[in-house]
Amino acid sequence: MSMVEEPFRPREKLVERQRLFQSIHKHTYLKGPFDKVTSVAIPLALAGSCLFMIGRGIYNMSNGIGKKE
């Protein structure tokens, strides 16, 4: 008696679904307005605030602002 485990999905369904996704030529990400907010606006805001804080820290260090005596 051989112990051959069946796959979770039949191979025909997997091939059919793979063919469906490969036939779609438009991008599957950035579908709705909320996707644009979460994947574009939030990282841009994070990068902008980081650059601002780094720049402010460099300015303060070069001018001796906030230094303890």
How does DSSP classify residue 4? P
What residues have CB less than 8 Å from 40, skipping those under 6 apart?
30
CA 54, chain centre distance (Å): 23
The residue ranges of every structural domain in the chain are: 30-69
pLDDT of residue 31: 67
pLDDT of residue 28: 63
pLDDT along the chain (69 residues), means of 10: 66 84 70 77 94 96 88
